[in-house]
Amino acid sequence: SVYPDQNSASKNVANRIAEIIRAKQEKGEKAVLGLATGATPVKVYQELIRLHKEEGLSFKNVITFNLDEYYPMQPDADQSYVTFMNKNLFEHVDIDAANVNIPDGTLASDQVNAFCEAYEQKITAAGGLDIQLLGIGRTGHIGFNEPGSAPNSGTRVVTLDDLTRRDASRAFGGKENVPTKAITMGVGTIFKAREIILMAWTETKAEIIKKAVEGEISSEIPATYLQLSDNVEFILDEAAASLL
Ligand code: GLP
């Protein structure tokens, strides 16, 4: 769907998440949310915080799994996705810290594969993702599944594209400070979610959105894999949809 602006689009996404949380709560179950970082979902999180503060939406029965984290990365670093999530959502709502899962950027290289496997199993043990939020990188990555990622890939360590590191360079004060690797849920992990929402705003995303939505399905643009799923919704503002 195309919305006039990212505010109205983000509210809609937040309302869908709130609906899932409340429906699960009524059944005495926990909602399992797959969350994303970056500028794109920030307004969704702001709206969820508002729903928590003003409309009593509780996160007590919510389990979250974030898509990705830089590797290596200390959780208390300014650029970590742990810091991002705490600042933009978790510290403003009543979520239990034990229910928050973000890939661990501090692991030694001989521990990281076991961690990735355990992350995958933890999602399954929680009942699977009820919903997965996605942004899109200009390489067509979802999470940090860069070009070349296989459609059945699982959580793993990946090497970041040069363009992705350039796009992140401002936050790190230069591309040379951007980690060369990341831990990310795989395309296969994302596909198992019962609902997937890919959001994109502004004209900087128009070109990659055109390729993702209308282009040939190919590992060269991992977001094109989403064309194969019946559970995906693209939520765009007019600028991001302008080349469709
Ligand atoms: C990073 C994240 C992605 C995100 C992308 C786009 O690479 N790992 O999950 O979708 O950036 O970021 P932004 O939303 O800031 O444009």
In short, whether 135's Cβ falls inside 6 Å of ligand 1 is: yes
Number of structural domains, the chain?
Answer: 1
Residue 112 alpha carbon to ligand 1 centre in Å: 22
38 occurs within a structural domain: yes
pLDDT tens digits for range 66-125 = 999 999 999 999 999 999 999 999 999 999 999 999 999 999 999 999 999 999 999 999
Q: What is the pLDDT of residue 45?
A: 99
Domain with 121, as residue range(s), is 2-237
d(CA 236, CA 109): 38
From the candidates 55, 146, 214, 216, give the one annotated as an active-site residue: 146
Q: How confident is the model at residue 25 (pLDDT cuts 50, 70, 90)?
A: very high
Q: What percent of the chain has pLDDT over 90?
A: 100
Residue 10 alpha carbon to ligand 1 centre in Å: 16
CA nearest to 93, candidates 133, 66, 60, 63: 60
CA nearest to 19, candidates 66, 57, 60: 57
pLDDT, average across residues 169-195: 98
243 occurs within a structural domain: no
The per-residue pLDDT of the chain, averaged, comes to 98
Q: What is the pLDDT of residue 220?
A: 97
Q: Look-up: residue for tokens 């409309």? A: 55
138 occurs within a structural domain: yes
Count CA atoms within 13 Å of residue 138 on its CB side.
12
In short, whether 39's Cβ falls inside 6 Å of ligand 1 is: yes
86 occurs within a structural domain: yes
Residue 41 alpha carbon to ligand 1 centre in Å: 9
For residue 120, count other CB atoms closer than 10 A to its CB. 19
Q: What is the pLDDT of residue 171?
A: 95
Tokens linked to 7: 């505010």
Q: Look-up: residue for tokens 């970056």? A: 38
Q: How confident is the model at residue 169 (pLDDT cuts 50, 70, 90)?
A: very high
Q: How confident is the model at residue 156 (pLDDT cuts 50, 70, 90)?
A: very high
Q: What is the pLDDT of residue 179?
A: 98
In short, whether 189's Cβ falls inside 6 Å of ligand 1 is: no
Q: Which of 6, 10, 13, 37 to mutate to test the pocket of ligand 1 (most atoms within 8 A of CB)?
A: 37
244 occurs within a structural domain: no
User: What is the CATH classification number for the domain harbouring 197?
Assistant: 3.40.50.1360
Q: What percent of the chain has pLDDT over 70?
A: 100
pLDDT tens digits for range 118-151 = 999 999 999 999 999 999 999 999 999 999 999 9
**Per-residue H/E/C for 91-150:** HHCCCCHHHEECCCCCCCCCCHHHHHHHHHHHHHHCCCCCEEEECCCCCCCECCECCCCC
Is-contact 98 126, C-beta < 8 A? no
242 occurs within a structural domain: no
Q: How confident is the model at residue 206 (pLDDT cuts 50, 70, 90)?
A: very high
189 occurs within a structural domain: yes
115 occurs within a structural domain: yes
Question: Which DSSP letter does residue 29 get?
Answer: -
d(CA 235, CA 134): 10
